Amino acid sequence: MTTVLLIHGFPFDHSQWRHQVGALPGGRCIAPDLPGAGATRGFDAIEDYSVASYATYLIGVLDQAKVDQVVICGLSMGGYIAFELLRRFPDRVRAAVFSNTKATPDTAEAKRGRDLLAAKAQKEGAAGVAGELVPKLMVQPEVVGEVTKMIERQPVTGIVGALRALRERPDSTPLLATMRIPVLVVAGADDRIAPAEGMQQMAHAIPGARFVVIPRSGHLTPLEQPRAFNAELGAFL
Ligand code: MLT
């Protein structure tokens, strides 16, 4: 039986995958909250947050569930963590799905943006973060309320920690050409954070990867266009 590990993005939690959990044919899903998100306790210190520590945490989740190999499916930050899983624990990964993500690291300007958002989170709380991000995330108005609420319930320390993990993440482009597993790359046609053109280039660099663009979707394709996303994921599985 195929087990799919669904890895959420920033600043979200497992509920981002509510249309996928239970809907995938012939398989089982594990959709944890990452440390410092949703119901999962954060790491002890902000310095402990990194894509490596998230990846190690997820391997612990798989060990506890007694699952050896999985199909990893990460959205945006979840994709950055998926790259880290492939670097550190390749034997645990049977196939990979990269949704609304990129392999490149943060530019100096993006890092400055992380610092400003962390300061905003500390000053205004998660609501300030939601106010800043929500207008950039989606094109489907019917999910705006749900995503706003999801961001507003995230703990500030988890948000600040995740921003540290994002700004310090390594360049994953050297990994792309080395991948020897089945890979699906899913872009949202109107994603402003991980634009489809960049995702296409990323997919071209991965041997044999399938690339799809889902119309009428911003950065949260699994939530904005669940039917189309699930059809692609189901066919891939
Ligand atoms: C995410 O959805 O995880 C974030 O947009 C990632 C990022 O800001 O790089």
Alpha carbon of 1 to ligand 1 centroid (Å): 30
Report residue 107 as tokens.
């530019």
Predicted confidence (pLDDT) at residue 155 exceeds the cutoff of 80: yes
Mutate which of 117, 129, 193, 223 for ligand 1 pocket (most atoms within 8 A of beta carbon): 193
The model's pLDDT over 188-209, given as tens digits with 9 standing for 90+, comes to 999 999 999 999 999 999 999 9
Q: Is 76 in the pocket of ligand 1 (CB under 6 A)?
A: yes
Q: What is the pLDDT of residue 1?
A: 72
Q: What is the pLDDT of residue 146?
A: 97
Average pLDDT, the chain: 97
Tally of CB atoms within 10 A around 120: 15
pLDDT classification of 26: cutoffs 50, 70, 90: low
Mutate which of 166, 192, 199 for ligand 1 pocket (most atoms within 8 A of beta carbon): 166
Strand order in the sheet with 70-75: 27-30, 2-7, 70-75, 93-99, 183-188, 210-214
CATH superfamily of 3-236: Alpha/Beta hydrolase fold, catalytic domain (3.40.50.1820)
Domains in the chain: boundaries:
3-236
Alpha carbon of 126 to ligand 1 centroid (Å): 15
User: Which element (helix H / strand E) includes 183?
Assistant: strand 183-188
pTM over 0.75: yes
Q: Which residues are registered as beta bridge partners of 4?
A: 29, 71
